[in-house]
Amino acid sequence: MISHFLKLEWKQFFRSSHWQKGIALKIIMGFFILYFMVAFLAIGVGGYYILKKLYPALDPLQLVNSYLLYVVLGELVLRYLMQTLPVMNIKPLLILPIKRSALVHYVLGKSAISFFNIISLFFYIPFTIVLIIEGYDTSGALGWLLAVVLMTQSVNFLNFLINKSTIALGSIVFLLLATIGVQKFDIFDITVFGGQVFDAVYASPVYSLIGFVILGVLYNLNYKQLKSLVYLDEAVSQKVEEATSIDLSFANRLGDVAPFIKNDIRLIWRNKRTKTVFLMSFLFLFYGLFFFTQETYREMPAMLMFASLFITGGFTLNYGQFIPAWDSAHYKMLMSQSFKYRKFLESKWILMVVMTSILYVLSFPYLYFGSRIFLMITAGAIFNIGFNSLFLLYAGSFNRKKIDLNQSGFGNTQGTSATQFLIIIPLMLLPMLLFWVFNKFVGYNSGFIVVASVGIISLLLKKQAMNYIEKKYIKDKYVMINAFGKEA
Amino acid sequence: MITIDTISKKYGKTEVLNVASIEIPTGQSFGLVGNNGAGKTTLFNVILDLIRPTTGSVTSNNIVVSESEAWKNFTGSFIDESFLIGYLTAEEYFQFVGDLRGMSAAEVTSFIGEFEDFFNDEIIGKKKYLRDLSKGNQKKAGIVAALMGNPEVVILDEPFANLDPTTQIRLKQVIKKLTDTSNITVLISSHDLTHVTEVCERIVVLDKGIVVKDIVTSAATLKELELYFSV
């Protein structure tokens, strides 16, 4: 039985869309994963010495121990938001002659080797090895490692137990804030208590076996709960959202473009991935803080230009790069309707321009960093509105990857191809280069003026550009219909 | 009138469609029958200019569909669920299609009102997005949307599949009304020989992309088709 499940897992993994992607994307994805692994490894290896250097009076292990309970609470919140049991996978297996209990064990067992559980090992294992090298008691250190691994697994299963209830999330967040609070005001220091628990495990490793008991109990609770829920109307059901309609009649004033604008607003608000893009664009507003607050970047005008473009460009860049793949699911239908293609494109353009303008208004507090920074943001906004919006529409005609709107937005690379990497050059590097060259050889103000001028000139040439873009889309119609029809 | 002239479609070396010539006069109800992979959907996609044929061309009311887009003004179609916009409610979808077809909000509402029986209380006012409707209900919404804006040509791929018996009967009435009372050309494909012989004046049988039968429907047609397919 297990070998069957393992075979399925193997095929699911290697036949998933992750592997069907272009080579460039594979390399970049691999690079990111490697980066995370190396980062955790580095902290695991170097963590001991860093703590030793920062707090020479304290024992690094005790220091880590005292904060482990915070790690548990923090992990719970993170997992609550990002991790769910992959129950839908077993739907096709339900009608086959496999025991329900085997299916439940399969789902639960699979969750034990999820990303969340593995990545922390990249810290704990090297940290333990360093402890042993540094002369800590070997059995104590190994006992400690076993205890934290069991703790991670327990948190994994605890999460699935409480995952359904928002009350649970509320209480965890409250508990987290409360413990931080009482610690701040010296009422009760949880780090002392937490520290004692894990110090005790190090002192007598036998205690780590208690972790097995906790894990066993939590696993059993999960097993019982899930087993009674493996029915199509319970755990193995697709959630149906109640439709909420908001009045969008204000858009009617836009005339011919109105139906598309209304559609686009609904597209963004009612689908997970687009909603993430929309909400993230407000987070990009804060991007500048990383750069403007650091002295090193103050002397690197090209980098400041980079940040300025991102502040107002979050939406345009993230939404624009996947036009028209957002509409890939119903692209055939659109292409059989009678409308001017221009209206469809125009609607996307208006959306990008309006959002950039809103983000620009919201960026006014950056005046705090001085008028030069603000001028730079203004130039960036003009460039985003004038050049980037049009350029992204043009680049969109090269999109050949379908996007499934219902999938979550975090770390989702569906729809990504070489196009997305190539367009970075004109979108970001061109204004940075322009700014750098003119700033260096002509003078500071000329940098803004040139970047802003490119934006304004593009805006003035909008009609010609749109004609050209429209022709390109119509020419590529059949290829796009064919590509969007394929499973993502 | 729709003229299909030497349409063929090749993917690599395999030819999926090869139709020498079919003329569908205005107002005809035209049925397309064939087993899976016979090329029915491909042919409809070619007529809707969603797939480019390898050779030949389709003319609809004197417009070559791959050269001008004017045919879209008088053509309504529903091929599959990808013709629906999943994140809209049925009402919003009808409004969207209505907007594109130049209907006012009031016109859309009254048009949809005519189909109250057809929807059987399953579509309108349900507070559900189209993606969450059952296959049959999605089909109902798609078919009605294809009829919006007074089309002269209506193309429906497998309209009877997934529909409940009551709706199948109602759909047959709707299609008959279209071709009897007004001069609308209706093209449908179906796996259900009974339905298609009941509704269509003419039936074309495709096999592996080739027209093998072109029959004017009579009392003997159903028997003839059943005999052909019971191999």
Please give the residue that has the higher pLDDT: either A431 or A359: A359
Per CB-CB distance under 8 Å, the chain B contacts of A271 are 87
Which of A336, A402, A480, A484 would you mutate first to test chain B, the one with the most B CBs within 10 A? A336
- Superfamily (CATH H level) for B2-229: P-loop containing nucleotide triphosphate hydrolases (3.40.50.300)
What pLDDT, on the 0 to 100 scale, is given for residue A298? 75
Residues with Cβ within 8 Å of residue A476, at least 6 apart in sequence: A397
CA distances from B128 to A240, B85, B116, B119, B122 (A): 8, 12, 17, 14, 10
Q: Give mean pLDDT, residues A435-443.
A: 83
**What rounded mean pLDDT belongs to chain A?**
84
How far is it, in rounded angstroms, from Cα A13 to Cα B33?
40
DSSP bridge partners of A222? none
DSSP bridge partners of B30? B187, B202
Residue with tokens 């005999």: B227
What single string gives the DSSP state of each residue in A428-466? IIHHHHHHHHHHHHT-HHHHHHHHHHHHHHHHHTHHHHH
What pLDDT, on the 0 to 100 scale, is given for residue A297? 77
Of B48, B92, B96, Cβ closest to residue A336? B48
User: A89 CA to chain B: closest CA distance, Å?
Assistant: 19
Residues with Cβ within 8 Å of residue A116, at least 6 apart in sequence: A75, A78, A79, A82, A83, A152, A156
Does the pTM exceed 0.80? no
Of residues A280, A256, A284, A283, the one with CA closest to residue A268: A280
Of residues A389, A321, A378, the one with CA closest to residue A355: A389
CB A399 within 8 A of CB A325: yes
User: B61 CA to chain A: closest CA distance, Å?
Assistant: 16
Per CB-CB distance under 8 Å, the chain A contacts of B73 are 338
What pLDDT, on the 0 to 100 scale, is given for residue A488? 52
What pLDDT, on the 0 to 100 scale, is given for residue A24? 64
Per CB-CB distance under 8 Å, the chain B contacts of A241 are 129, 132
Q: Give mean pLDDT, residues A387-416.
A: 80
Residue spans per domain, chain B: 2-229
Instruction: Report pLDDT digits (tens) over A105-125.
Output: 888 888 888 877 888 888 889
Q: Which of A427-431, A475-479, B23-27 is the least confident region?
A: A427-431
What single string gives the DSSP state of each residue in A372-420? HHHHHHHHHHHHIIIIIHHHHHHHHTT------TTS--TT--TT--HHH
Whether ipTM > 0.85 holds is no
Per CB-CB distance under 8 Å, the chain A contacts of B108 are none
CB A409 within 8 A of CB A82: no
A-side interface with B, Cβ within 8 Å?
Answer: 240-245, 258-259, 262-263, 266-267, 270-271, 329-333, 335-339, 405-406, 478, 481-482, 485
Of A241, A258, A339, Cβ closest to residue B129? A241
Per CB-CB distance under 8 Å, the chain A contacts of B101 are 337-338
CB A85 within 8 A of CB A231: no
Residue B204 tokens read as: 């074309």
User: A269 CA to chain B: closest CA distance, Å?
Assistant: 9
What pLDDT, on the 0 to 100 scale, is given for residue A159? 87
How far is it, in rounded angstroms, from Cα A288 to Cα A285?
7
Q: Give me the sheet containing B2-11, strands edge to edge.
A: B14-24, B2-11, B55-60, B63-64
Per CB-CB distance under 8 Å, the chain B contacts of A256 are none
- Taking 3-state DSSP, the helix, strand and coil percentages for chain B, each rounded to the nearest 5, stand at 40, 30, 35
